[in-house]
Amino acid sequence: MKKQWETYEEWYRATRKSNKGSEFKIRNCWGIYQAYKHIRKNGWYDIGRPLTEHEFYNVIRSINGLLSKEIANGSVVTFPHKMGRLELQKYYVKVWIDDNGKLHNTYPVNWYDTLKLWYEDEEARVKKLLVRNEYPCIYHVKYRKKRANYENKQFYQFCLNTFIKRELRKNIKQGKVDTMYGK
């Protein structure tokens, strides 16, 4: 069978769902600038002298930097005023067959190797065979808001960016980070 594409990269670009990337629409969300305008409009809430935009952004940036270092080192971050906490948990991965004979697998999919397999083997792509990583456990950063004491808890979200994930992965592989098992 002659392949229609010369390289893996051409095949990957041609078979992706969207070539223009994702378009995100975030509604009812405050960014840094909206928070700055709100604080400025309300007289700075008696925090002292007014801050310039540049100073405000530097404060936010430095807090986010410290927060990312703590998460990458596997520390539990507890927010003040009962706003919840961020903690690292690990879960066992396993394979089992239920009573109906259905196979369940909680190992994570290795998408890079899976797509390489699909490029090289047409039958594997048609059958949607997946290549899985064989790690003994999976780590997750969870935002615990059970004991948080504020309204509108569903509007708060914390997402790790690629740089924090990469640093955390490196620390886990070097054995610097370990944590308790989750549920």
pLDDT per position as a tens digit, 49-102: 888 999 999 998 898 889 889 989 988 888 888 888 888 888 889 899 999 999
Confidence of residue 155 (pLDDT cuts 50, 70, 90): low
Average pLDDT, the chain: 83
SS3 category, 142? strand
The confidence score (pLDDT) of residue 1 equals: 45
Mean pLDDT of 150-167: 75
Q: What angle do CA 78, 90, 129 make, to 5 degrees?
A: 135
Mean pLDDT of 21-44: 77
pLDDT digits (tens, 9 = 90+) for 112-139: 899 999 999 989 999 999 999 988 888 8
Task: Identify the CA nearest to 90 among candidates 74, 67, 105.
Answer: 74
Domains of the chain in start order, with CATH, are 31-90+139-178 (4.10.520), 94-134 (no CATH)
Task: Identify the CA nearest to 114 among candidates 5, 23, 15, 6.
Answer: 15
32 touches 54 (CB < 8 A): no
